[in-house]
Amino acid sequence: MGRIGLVAITAVLASTLAACGQSETVDDSGAARAGEGSTSYPLVLDNCGQQVTVDAAPQRVASLDQGSTEILLSLGLADRLVGTASWTDPIRENLAEANASVPRLADNAPTYEVVLDADPDFVTASFGRHFKQGGVAERARFAETGVESYLSPTDCDNGVSINGGGKRTNPLTMDALYQEIGELAAVFDVTERGTQLIDGLKEREAAALASIEKSNVSTAFWFADTKSPYVAGGLGSASLLARSVGATNVFSDLTDDWSPVGWEIVVERNPDVLILGDLLRNRFPGDLLADKIAFLQSDPVTQNLDAVRNQRYIALHGAEMNPSIRAVDGLEKVAAGLRDQKVPS
């Protein structure tokens, strides 16, 4: 079987990031106003079981997640962002300049008071945990102050938020991400920019899949935590990456997007390739890629994994394992890792 070691990881990341940095160029210069004026207000959306009514294009948006922020920046809306929060990774390279002027409300979830201090007229989130009791604030509480809220369709199944306490019953598809981009573009009256962004992501998705022959390589996605590793279940974004390239997820029987399991179970299922989260937030043991690899190679249990003995690793940023525009980056990296290393079926 092929070997995907640390050198291979570096090569894969360097080649794909170079390509990624050149795509979806953002122009928020004011000269790029294509598509503005095409939304008819009031705009009414059915958003994860709630009706959202937008009377005019929001001017002051607070984004509670990295994924939501990067979509808004990709739509050229940096001048509308009054705050961002909940980051696992550095900003995508092509968005760094636009993001430099956006206030960071918190590295993790902000408090309700901090969000209100930014004086938003619209709030977006990738994950429903922000909109439940114990999170930032329930959506009704924002509505009481006249602030509409929007939750990514990637976190919604049958009108219920997955990260807000619901369960995913249908496998996630890229269509949910494209729906989010299209709806946010309509909310902010930049529909043509939304169409261009979606078309660019679809082109990259098709190119990545065209570059690899589908196989039955088995994988496991490890997000974080060395004690009880959080691995990807079969219905979420990470497993979508595996299905897209024709690989299998050895934990596809799990229904949660991310579930803690024991290392003995990982060894028992013995995936051909380990896809490792490189979470540069570095808050918990095993967030960083280097820490993950050091643990795998030193722990007496994990040393028995074929993927560890043969150093078959592919590294993804945390945001690339979650449903966002970075999932396309993740798809490119997984396809490149499996193709270039010629991991057999």
pLDDT the model gives residue 97:
97
Give the Cα separation of 98 and 29 in Å (integer).
Answer: 10
Residue 8, pLDDT score: 39
pTM score, two decimals? 0.87
The pLDDT, as a whole number, for residue 213 is 79
pLDDT in tens, 62-98: 999 999 999 999 999 999 999 999 998 999 999 999 9
What is the chain's pLDDT, residue by residue, as a tens digit (345 residues)? Answer: 443 343 334 333 333 333 333 444 444 444 344 446 689 999 999 999 999 999 999 999 999 999 999 999 999 999 999 999 999 899 999 999 999 999 999 999 999 999 999 999 999 999 999 999 999 999 999 999 999 999 999 999 999 999 999 999 999 999 999 999 999 999 999 999 999 999 999 999 999 999 887 778 999 999 999 999 999 999 999 999 999 999 999 999 999 999 999 999 999 999 999 999 998 877 788 899 999 999 999 999 999 999 999 999 999 999 999 999 999 999 999 999 988 765 555
Cβ atoms 120, 62 nearer than 8 A: yes
Strand-strand pairing, 248-249 and 218-224: parallel
Query: What's the confidence (pLDDT) of residue 303?
Result: 95
Alpha helices in the chain, H assignment, sequence order? 6-20, 66-74, 96-99, 112-117, 139-144, 174-187, 191-210, 237-244, 263-269, 289-298, 306-309, 318-321, 326-340
Residues 6+ apart with CB under 8 A from 98: 26, 28, 73, 76, 78
Q: How far apart are CA 104 and CA 63, in angstroms?
A: 10
Residue 343: the pLDDT is 59
Residue reference for tokens 């990545």:
208
Integer angstrom CA distances of residue 344 from 4, 68, 175, 228, 304 = 12, 37, 30, 29, 20
* Cβ neighbours around 176 below 10 Å, total: 18
Domains of the chain: 43-205 (3.40.50.1980), 214-340 (3.40.50.1980)
